[in-house]
Chains A and B, each alone.
Chain A
Amino acid sequence: MSSGFEVVLAGIQATIQDLGRVGLAGIGVSSAGALDEFAFHHANRLLGNEYGTNMLEIVFGGVKLKAKGSTSLVLTGAKVDATINNKPIEIWKTYKVNDGDIINLGYATSGARVYLGVKDGFSVEKEYGSCSVSIKEKLGGNPLHVKQFLPFKSVYLHDNRKLPTTYQPNYDKILMLRLVAGYQWDMFEDIQRDKFFSSHYKVTGQNDRMGYRLSGEKITSTSKGIVSEPIAYGSVQIPAHGEPIVLLKERQTIGGYPKIGSVIPVDCFRLAQAKQDSQVQFELISLEDARDISIEFYKFFKEI
C-alpha cells in the first residue's frame, strides 16, 4: 500500500511548491514557487532534503492530515498551534510521523504562510519542469482538497533537528523592504521618491501569490502611460491610483504600469509572511549591496 497523507481538512489555500518554473516567462508562464524561500529552504535543510525539494505552502494553517506510512516532518514559517495526535509540536523542528498519526494545524498567530515538508518531498508529477501549483495558470494541479491523497515515500530513519531560536524570524516587526532603483525610476521626481521612502504603508486585503497591494501615501510619476513590458520578481508597480503593488511569484509576465524599482528577494520572502494591516516601509539599496545580500542568502542554503 502506498504511503502519504490523507487530507482531512484542506485549510484556506494549501499548495505544493518547489522553486518554480524557470525559462518560460517568454511564453507567458510565471515562475510560481515557494513565496517565502527562507522558511522553504530551512525546512529542507532541517529534513536533510535535496535543495529545492517540494513541500506544502499553507496559507494561515487550518490543515489536518492523516499519515499512512512513516516519515520525518517539519513545519516552518508562520507560527501555528500544531499537534501530532493532540500532542503540541513546535515549528522549525523535525518530528517522526508514524502510520495512523494525525497532524493538525491551527491558525497562524504570527506570519501568514506555514511550510510543511516531509523527508524527500511529496511524490507528485512535475509540469513544465516544476511541481509548483500555479493557481491562476492552472498548472501543477490544484490547491489541496479534502480526501485528496498526497503520496510520499515511507522513510524510517529520522533525525531530531531544530533551528536555533535566534535564527527564527520575528514576523511582527515593521518590515523594511529594500528596493533597487530600476525601470521607470527617472519618472519619479525627488519629492515623490521622498514620499515613497519616508511613508509607512499598510498591507491591504488584496494580497496573494501574485502580489501585495499596499495602502498609504499616494505617489505619482511623470509617465503618461508606458508600453507594456516584462515584469521582474519584486517589481513595485505604481498604478494610476498611486498606491504601490509589490509583484511576487505568480505575477503576470508583462504589464503596462510604471515601476519605481524592485524589492530584493530576501525581503519579498518576508513580505509573503505579512498579513493584512501589517506595516511596511521601503528603503533604497544599491545594486551591489543587494547582490551581496542575495548571494549570502543562497550560498548558505546551497552549500552544505
Chain B
Amino acid sequence: MRCFSVASVNSVMIYFGSEIGEGVAKEVRQVFYTLKSAKLEHITELVPSYTSIMISYDFMSVSYRQICKEIEDVLDHADEFYNEVSTRLVTIPVYYGLEVGLDLESLAKMKNRTVEEIVALHVNKEYFVYAIGFSPGFPYMGEVNEALATPRLANPRAKVPKGSVGIADKQTAIYPQLSPGGWQILGRTPIEMFDTSYKGFSYLKVGDKVKFQSISKEQFLELGGEL
C-alpha cells in the first residue's frame, strides 16, 4: 500500500502503513533505494523513516501532481525493486560498564534482573536500522527484547555523552555526539557514527542489521573510546 500526501509546498509524504514492522520497513527501504538510484532530476531530498518517506522537490519546475506522477512512473516501471539493498551485518563494540551505562543499575532494579542480564538482553539480538535522524548519523533501530523495553526517562538529560548506546521503548540507538536526550543509557561505543571520511558520511545506513558486542574497558579505550 502506498499513500501520497502533502507535507509542505515542496514536499510529499508517502505512507506505507501506520504500524512499525519488518514488512512495512522493507517496503520503505525498497522504494527509498529505487528512487535514490532513479536520480529523478526534480527531487532534492529523500528522507526514509519507519513507515514513511518524505520527498522534497523543486517546486519551481514541477507541481505536486507532476512529482507524484514521476514517482509513480519510476515505481511502476522499476523492473525489479531492490530486493535486499543492504544485507550488511554491522557489529558495534560497546563497553557496558557502570561508569558509562548511566541507567544500567536503575534498569536492573526496575526489571528485577542483574546488570549482566540486562546487558545480555541487549547483546543477544540483531537490530534493524529503520531510519537515520534526530541528529546527524543517529540510527533508530529495533526492536529490543520485550523484557528490556523501557520508556524514555521522565526527565531527559541535558547532556548525553557522545557514543552513548540507549533504549527507548522498543527502540535502540547510538548518540553520535554530545547532545540532550531522554533515552535509557546502557553503554558506550568508541565508533564514530558520523564522519566526512565515510562514504555517505553516516556509519550506518537504513536497512543495515546491527549487532552489539560487549567489550572490556581496556578494549574500549584501545579503540579510542573516551570515558
Contacts and interface: CB of A to CB of B under 8 A. Distances in A.
B41 interface: no
B79 to A, nearest CB: 24
Contact of A182 (B5, B44, B49, B52): B5
B45 A25 contact: yes
Interface string A223-248: 00001111111110000000000000
15 contacts: A25-B47, A26-B45, A26-B48, A29-B201, A138-B177, A182-B13, A228-B133, A230-B54, A233-B8, A252-B134, A254-B47, A254-B131, A265-B10, A294-B10, A298-B60
A27 B177 contact: no
A253 B44 contact: no
B144 interface: no
A298 B10 CA distance: 13
Interface in B168-227: 177, 179, 194, 196, 200-202, 206
A219 to B, nearest CB: 19
A28 B203 CA distance: 12
B9 A230 contact: no
Of A25, A139, A264, most B-chain CB atoms within 10 Å: A25
Interface stretch (B80-88, B103-111, B117-125, B135-143): B135-143
Given A182-B7, A234-B8, A264-B9, A229 B201 contact: no
Nearest to A290: B9
B102 interface: no
**Looking at B45, B48, B51, B56, which has the most chain A CB atoms within 10 Å of its CB?**
B45
Nearest to B51: A227
Contacts of A231: 54
A76 interface: no
A282 interface: no
B6 A229 contact: no
A291 B136 contact: no
Contact of A230 (B13, B138, B200): B13
A68 to B, nearest CB: 31
A295 interface: yes
A146 interface: no
A262 B135 contact: no
B51 A229 contact: yes
Interface string B50-78: 11111010011001100000000000000
Contact of B135 (A23, A28, A234): A28
A232 B133 contact: no
Nearest to B64: A287
Nearest to B201: A27
Nearest to A29: B136
Given A231-B54, A261-B8, A294-B9, 11 more contacts: A25-B45, A25-B54, A27-B201, A136-B135, A137-B135, A180-B6, A227-B51, A227-B52, A230-B49, A230-B133, A254-B134
A181 B9 CA distance: 10
B9 A287 contact: yes
Interface in A282-304: 287-288, 290-291, 294-295, 298-299
B146 interface: no
A174 interface: no
A41 B218 CA distance: 54
A138 B18 CA distance: 34
Interface string A21-62: 011111111000000000000000000000000000000000
Contacts of A29: 136, 201
A288 B66 CA distance: 13
A231 B6 CA distance: 12
Contacts of B54: 25, 229-232
Nearest to B176: A28
Contacts of B177: 137-138
Interface in B1-26: 5-11, 13, 18-20
Interface string A185-228: 00000000000000000000000000000000000000000011
Given A29-B136, A287-B64, A254 B49 contact: yes
A252 B133 contact: yes
Nearest to A289: B9
A262 B136 contact: no
Contacts of A295: 59-60
Interface string A128-154: 100000001111000000000000000
A233 to B, nearest CB: 6
B200 A27 contact: yes
Contacts of A128: 196, 201
A304 B196 CA distance: 36
Interface in A259-291: 261-262, 264-265, 287-288, 290-291
Contacts of B7: 182-183, 230, 232, 235, 262
